[in-house]
Amino acid sequence: MSAGDQQARAVAKVSKLESLAAEMGSARPLEAVVDLVIDQISDVVRSDGTAVWLYDSDNDLWYIAGSRGLSWRASRVRFRGSRALQSRIAPDGEIISDLDGAGFHRLYPEHLDIHSVLYAPISISGKRVGLLAVYRKRRERFSEQDLGFARTVGAHVGMAVSFAALEARSERLAVLEERARLGADLHDGVLQILSSVRLYGTELRQELELLLADLRPQRREAVQQLLDALIACVDAGSEEIAGAIERLRRPDFKLDIARSLELARERLQNAGIATELVYELGHVPSEVSDALAWISREAASNILRHSRARNVVLELRATGPLAELLVSDDGASASPPERKDVRADGEAHLGRHIMQERAEQLGGTFTIESGREGTRVRVRIPREPTAARRGGS
């Protein structure tokens, strides 16, 4: 089959996809749409990897909605708009062979093998909402025909991809909000009732102790057994509901730490500090997620209160045996003679002490280095803390 025939067949497929998307609207799952888009590209354009990049304007973030031929960690990278190569792509797309000159981010060894990239816009009525990215490891430049076809795909599927991305985001937020609401209802309702019942049971035991002396030994033992059973039942129910609340409120600890980092970035950027966020996450246990989330918030607060930083980098990598958080800024701390705010000094010292304590409780390490070029906070915590470490012993 000739290249022209292949393109004609693929264009027909794209047209069919457009018709299906128009019929199904936002009900079409994002994963299914992305898979179909990548299928169209792979049918015609030879490549070693393909990705659908989307832009989240609310958070000024470029992220990969789906990919083929990329490792899991490479498919999880995301960039702030001002630092993303994707933001600088021409409106009609581009073919880039000088990746380093263009500012291509080579974060992992596999990125070193990529020598040519084709970017084509995913658009709605001429407005770009994302990009199709096609990668080649061979030193073979994409052709203008390849770019033209990718542009055709991007123009056809823009509405379907955008609707699906919005739907996926809305569903995720709705689920999280509903789980949070249910957790709050359980906490404020049933759990509080059980706590009250236990309190009444304890008070009843104390009152009955004054009367039990007048009862026969057999009756006294029966009353004590009933009270013990009542309190044990309440304790078991409370523990079970507390666990349910925890699961409802925190359905995805990986999502929790990622959101905490994004909120820290937003706080810093709102203060006029340029902030880059990079993370790759595997499974993150709840206690590790909680500790890293707290430390990232405290580190951001310290930068806002005690630093004159203009640039900050937040990095979290949790794919090996360790979860490693690195917070770097270029703020030069005031020298001791200039520091007259004793309270601020004390708050900063206490914050560092608590960060170190949170890390060490889970068998991790905390280091902080300050100098003329800025401050670097590094935290390393085992992703699977032992039971002893969880208990703080």
pLDDT at 344: 47
Kindly tell me the burial class for residue 302, based on how many C-beta atoms sit within 10 Å of its own C-beta (0-12, 13-18, 19 or more): buried
Vertex 49: Cα angle to 46 and 54 (nearest 5): 115
Query: CB-hemisphere CA count at 13 Å for 361?
Result: 15
Q: Which residues contact 228 (CB under 8 A, 6 or more apart)?
A: none
How much is the pLDDT for 118? 94
**Cβ neighbours of residue 182 closer than 8 Å, sequence gap 6 or more:** 248
Q: What is the pLDDT of residue 210?
A: 67
How many CA atoms lie within 13 Å of 16's alpha carbon, on the beta-carbon side? 8
Quote the pLDDT of residue 262: 84
Residue 358 has phi, psi (to 5 degrees) of -60, -40
Determine the Cα–Cα distance for residues 110 and 96; give it in Å rounded to an integer. 18
55 strand-pairing partners = 62
| 35's tokens | 């898979």
Residue for token digits 């970035």?
265
Distance of CA 312 to the CA centre of its chain: 18
Alpha helix (H) ranges present in 250-280? 253-270
Gap between the Cα atoms of 195 and 192, Å rounded: 5
What is the predicted pLDDT for the residue at 389?
Answer: 45
pLDDT at 244: 60
Cross-strand bridge partners of residue 367: 378
In the β-sheet with 78-80, what is the strand arrangement from edge to edge? 78-80, 61-68, 49-56, 127-136, 116-124, 94-96
- The pLDDT of residue 377: 94
Q: For residue 328, give the nearest of 271, 379, 255 by alpha carbon.
A: 379
Give the model's pLDDT for residue 336.
Answer: 40
Could you count the other beta carbons within 10 Å of the beta carbon of residue 232? 12
Q: Which amino acid is at 269?
A: Q
For residue 57, what are the contacts with CB-CB under 8 A and spacing of at least 6? none
- pLDDT per residue, tens digit, the chain (393 aa), is 565 665 566 566 556 555 544 544 444 567 777 777 887 788 788 899 999 898 887 778 888 888 888 887 788 788 888 788 988 999 999 999 999 899 898 888 888 899 999 999 988 777 788 899 999 998 889 999 899 888 888 877 776 777 666 666 665 556 556 666 666 666 666 666 666 677 767 777 776 766 666 666 777 677 777 777 777 767 766 776 666 666 555 555 566 677 788 888 888 988 889 999 888 777 777 788 888 888 988 888 888 877 888 999 999 988 778 899 999 999 865 434 344 444 445 455 667 888 888 888 888 999 999 888 889 999 999 987 553 344 443
Quick check: helix, strand or coil at residue 374? strand
Q: Which residue has the tokens 């309702």?
A: 189
